[in-house]
Chain A
């Protein structure tokens, strides 16, 4: 029973190549989009870096759900923040995407386009009125009908500033900039007075900055980017002025959120966006900065700050659609969002929750002050990040902005190139 060399080679080749034909095909073998059946069965729920700090909270939510719906079992898995999109990509491509997944709008867009996210306008329309209209709309995808995730928590980070550096530059520490025009004026003063040693900002403008400056980011149909208009060019030209005057940190072109946070901690820059959690960090790592910390709203020239939305998506291929939809709703309903908000500095996306005294009543602490200010600004906040703006597009914009700041291209040419690159990527997304 000898095996010839040729037979063996052929078998090895077939074994290697055969799986390729199935690679990425993702056959439609999932369950139905009907959520009206009995809530029962085993489902998996994936969160985004929440186990370390909120294990007991989620254990409680899951236990309560299983008690309310006997016959259900929720397996909770948590993924680290780093590489979360890659993990979802691998699961989605491999057909192992969990039944209920914690996502952001930019993550849900490609999943919805690939037919992997359940349309909640069809499967869970009855819950729609429980959420803020803007939050519900944040998981709609241009060019598609439907809503592809339950809105979960919202956030709008405050902007921290160093009062001491403001004072040294002759600026009023109690009157931080509110609009981009204020910011540009103060930043140039700061750079001039410190002889270029203290920058006001540590980051180049992002797509959200263009949005808050009042630039039209996409056309109405959501089929093309438009941030290379006159207003966009004006914003980038102003940033170029800041960069030349060292009012924008010289390392801003390669900055990451971590590196700019470090610059703020070491008092090399005067302003930095953050969250209420950062206050503790300042208190421990930079007591001198903490004594002089100022907290203000995000800079905006539109009157609206940027809102970050987190959502909970249901896998359209789940075999347990009723249980998955019920659990996704359970996690994001008003009661659970409120109890989660009391554990961490996030804000509920459910209608009326922001009127709770927890978000309106001062108690004299810094944490409450930040929370109330953020809740107030959230009421008319806008999610400026286009859901179709992928990581590759962010890099394309960032690189073109860098070229303009370095003077290698005019702001107009840089934005034209960025829009062209982003539109090409958009077309490739299909």
Chain B
């Protein structure tokens, strides 16, 4: 009966599925597909903010190869992945194991660990800038214990690692929640059986917990590596618009923003950088998925 109604409707209004999908398609088209196609087209032109560009072939990409700032951006974005992703795959899992236990007051800790996720990145960034300032709280503490003041915000490497620390601190709660959901699906019997067989806490973590949440770890790895490669706010807020001392902390997305915005922005060149970011991001996702598939097989 239901099937015949559907068939009748289809016959009467063949385009009805498209009509239902139209709002979603329109939004996707206007806000995702159109900007994407526009960026790809612009990447092969010398378009500027107020001047329509002409086709320049691969000139923008050739220029990228000789642009020191592009290589600095690529280095920093890659370093961000190398340092931030392992931390964001492992630490939230450990945190989730800690807060998974149903003991009095645990809700407070779960909420506390999640708070940085909902806090505005601008507010968080400014707070960390104040804390890490040459005369900030952390430096005052270090000085009081005889370590002396550390140039967290003036040394290019310390600045980059400080920004990474903020990214990890802010992301912990988010990935912790994902792990908590995964851990809830790990059968209790597996842990009990392993415990009966004499496995300690570390052994149970290695042989029961990790295999059970492996697919979640892959998901977290993929999500955090894409986010890390596209990092902007933390570095922008802590290193300033010029990207740290001599621009040495610039990331690729910061370079896109700096190059392509404003009245004299080089939209074509910035689009070429964006395209590189896109290709690397897709490649990263594919790598992670392939590694997961190989492990699974």
Contact = CB atoms under 8 A, between A and B. Distances in A.
Interface of A: 1-3, 8, 12, 15-17, 19-20, 23-26, 85-86, 88-89, 92-93, 107, 110-111, 113-114, 116, 249-251, 253-256, 259, 266, 268, 390-392, 395, 398-400, 402-403, 406, 408, 425, 428-430
A114 to B, nearest CB: 4
A249 B265 CA distance: 31
Nearest to B29: A16
B125 interface: no
B263 interface: yes
A398 B261 contact: no
B263 to A, nearest CB: 4
A93 B264 CA distance: 12
Contacts of B262: 85-86, 89, 390-392
Nearest to A402: B246
Nearest to B15: A3
Given A3-B14, A402-B247, 15 more contacts: A8-B18, A16-B29, A19-B34, A20-B41, A23-B52, A24-B50, A24-B52, A89-B265, A110-B263, A253-B154, A253-B245, A254-B245, A392-B265, A399-B247, A428-B46
Contacts of A85: 261-263
Contact of B51 (A20, A107, A430): A430
A76 to B, nearest CB: 22
Contact of A390 (B50, B242, B264): B264
B244 interface: yes
Nearest to A391: B262
Contacts of A92: 49-50, 263
Given A16-B34, A250-B151, A25 B263 contact: no
B258 A89 contact: no
Interface in B12-33: 14-15, 18, 29, 33
Contacts of A15: 29
A316 B258 CA distance: 28
Contact of B52 (A8, A26, A391, A400): A26
Nearest to B259: A392
Q: Secondary structure of the A side of the interface?
A: helix
A336 B42 CA distance: 45
Given A110-B50, A255-B240, A391-B264, A16 B245 contact: no
A114 B50 CA distance: 6
Contacts of B240: 254-256, 259
Nearest to A110: B263
B166 to A, nearest CB: 15
Contact of A429 (B53, B261, B264): B264
B178 to A, nearest CB: 34
B50 A93 contact: yes
A395 B37 contact: no
A88 B263 contact: yes
Contacts of B154: 250-251, 253-254
17 contacts: A2-B15, A15-B29, A24-B47, A24-B53, A26-B50, A92-B50, A114-B50, A116-B50, A250-B134, A254-B240, A391-B264, A392-B262, A395-B258, A399-B247, A402-B245, A402-B246, A428-B266
B244 A110 contact: no
A284 to B, nearest CB: 19
